């Protein structure tokens, strides 16, 4: 049996399904979480929608977003755990850990090449978004796409592909989007709401990052100290894909944004231009991602992490993949 059949069998047997998206969720994590949850409810499953961190303010337009919680409701005893968009179990956060150890089956639905296949069943495919992996699963379960489900899934596709512009977009991605639009999702609305908008605070964080750019040997990076964020009242505001902007610089072969977090943690967002890759470096540092977009969180002071990782990035740039994507 292929993993799609296995996934269908697991969901078919389950009645109360806990669905977890990764911490620090993006459009794909939330869109997949809500899309799958709402879809399963249409066929009578009970679901608990879980994420360690709250739904970002700008994604609260998505149907069902007020139903995401950081703890399992007391009266909910799941008989299946579905994880979404997460290549390892750490990234699922604290809410998932007791469930992972609770003896119930785990269906791991993901699209990262770095996925470590931690599920009982692993529906892991090299697609542009987790939402795109869910579509054949819903088809195989014979669950019709409602407008709400389609809207959530389209937010995932549009977010992870930055509006169909990333190197991993295929004809299948576009076909999936056509189906979601045919099911009632409004592409312009979803793109505006889920991708194009940002907050002024996020722009201030960009300003901090952009004012401290460094370029050496094809590596473009910036570091955002916690103290400068504190001074401006920006603690907890993400850098919102600043790395995607940096890799647009023609001088850069790889780009990185280092964000100092409370508790001696540094979050790193990597980007590569086609012909280079950052997934293997992110994986070796305990994170994960895709060849051209990856990330990890490291312990240590900002200065020492930047120095160490920039050295590794320079070594990475010295070894182009020879591929155009």
* Rounded CA separation 14/319 (Å): 47
In the complex, the smallest distance separating the C-beta of residue 13 from ligand 5GP, rounded to whole angstroms, is 29
* Rounded CA separation 318/299 (Å): 26
CB atoms within 10 A of CB 219: 22
Q: Smallest Cα–Cα separation from 280: which of 24, 87, 120, 125? A: 87
**Residue 160 interacts with Mn ion (CB under 5 A): yes or no:** yes
Q: Binders of ligand 5GP among 99-158, rule CB under 6 A? A: 112
Structure tokens at 175: 């076909």
Q: Which of the choices Mn ion, ligand 5GP, none does residue 277 contact, using the CB cut-off of 5 to 8 A by kind?
A: none
Q: Read out DSSP for 96-147?
A: GHHHHTTT--EEEEE--TT----SSEEEE---S-HHHHHHHHHHHTTPPPPH
**Residue 287 interacts with ligand 5GP (CB under 6 A): yes or no:** yes
Q: Which of the choices ligand 5GP, Mn ion, none does residue 130 contact, using the CB cut-off of 5 to 8 A by kind?
A: Mn ion
Which of 45, 127, 229, 241 contacts ligand 5GP by CB under 6 A?
241
**Residue 293 interacts with ligand 5GP (CB under 6 A): yes or no:** yes
- Region of residue 175 (phi > 0: left; psi between -120 and 50: alpha; otherwise: beta): alpha
Q: What is the edge-to-edge ordering of all strands in the sheet holding 16-21?
A: 68-69, 46-50, 16-21, 80-84, 106-110, 121-124
CB nearer to ligand 5GP: give 241 or 273.
Answer: 241
Which of 202, 288, 305, 306 contacts ligand 5GP by CB under 6 A?
288
**Residue 130 interacts with Mn ion (CB under 5 A): yes or no:** yes
Give the torsion sign (CA, 197, 201, 203, 209): negative
Q: Binders of ligand 5GP among 35-94, rule CB under 6 A? A: 87-88, 91
In the complex, the smallest distance separating the C-beta of residue 27 from ligand 5GP, rounded to whole angstroms, is 10
CB nearer to Mn ion: give 283 or 310.
Answer: 283
Which of 10, 21, 23, 28 contacts Mn ion by CB under 5 A?
28
Q: Binding segment for Mn ion among 66-74, 77-85, 100-108, 219-227 (CB under 5 A)? A: 77-85
Q: What is the DSSP letter of 235?
A: T
In the complex, the smallest distance separating the C-beta of residue 193 from Mn ion, rounded to whole angstroms, is 18
* Rounded CA separation 318/316 (Å): 5
Which of 89, 222, 243, 253 contacts ligand 5GP by CB under 6 A?
243
Which of 3, 83, 269, 316 contacts ligand 5GP by CB under 6 A?
269
In the complex, the smallest distance separating the C-beta of residue 46 from Mn ion, rounded to whole angstroms, is 25
CB nearer to ligand 5GP: give 8 or 283.
Answer: 283
* Rounded CA separation 285/219 (Å): 18
Q: Which of the choices ligand 5GP, Mn ion, none does residue 243 contact, using the CB cut-off of 5 to 8 A by kind?
A: ligand 5GP
């Amino acid at each position: 049996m292929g993993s799609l059949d296995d996934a269908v069998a697991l969901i078919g047997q389950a009645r109360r399904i806990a669905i977890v998206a990764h911490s620090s969720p993006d459009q794909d994590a939330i869109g997949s979480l809500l899309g799958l949850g709402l879809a399963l409810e249409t066929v009578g499953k009970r679901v608990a929608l879980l994420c360690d961190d709250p739904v970002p303010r700008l994604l609260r337009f998505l149907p069902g977003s007020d139903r995401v919680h950081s703890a399992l409701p007391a009266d909910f005893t799941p008989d299946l755990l579905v994880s979404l968009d997460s290549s390892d179990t750490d990234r699922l956060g604290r809410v998932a850990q007791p469930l992972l150890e609770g003896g119930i089956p785990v269906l791991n639905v993901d699209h990262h090449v770095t996925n470590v296949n931690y599920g009982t069943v692993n529906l892991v495919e090299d697609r542009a978004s987790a939402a795109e992996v869910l579509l054949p699963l819903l088809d195989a379960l014979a669950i019709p796409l409602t407008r709400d489900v389609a809207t959530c899934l389209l937010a995932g596709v549009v977010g992870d592909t930055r509006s169909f512009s990333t190197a991993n977009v295929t004809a299948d991605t576009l076909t999936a989007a056509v189906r979601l639009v045919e099911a009632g999702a409004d592409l312009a609305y979803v793109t505006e709401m889920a991708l194009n908008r940002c907050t002024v605070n996020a722009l201030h964080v960009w300003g901090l990052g952009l004012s401290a750019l460094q370029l050496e040997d094809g590596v473009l990076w910036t570091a955002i100290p916690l103290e400068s964020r504190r001074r401006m009242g920006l603690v907890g505001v993400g850098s919102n894909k600043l790395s995607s902007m940096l890799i647009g610089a023609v001088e850069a072969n790889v780009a990185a944004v280092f964000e100092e977090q409370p508790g001696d943690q540094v979050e790193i967002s990597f980007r590569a231009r086609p012909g280079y890759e950052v997934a293997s470096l992110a994986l070796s540092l305990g994170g994960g991602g895709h060849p051209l977009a990856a990330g990890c969180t490291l312990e240590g002071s900002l200065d020492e992490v930047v120095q160490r990782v920039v050295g590794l990035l320079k070594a990475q740039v010295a070894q182009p993949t020879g591929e155009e994507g």
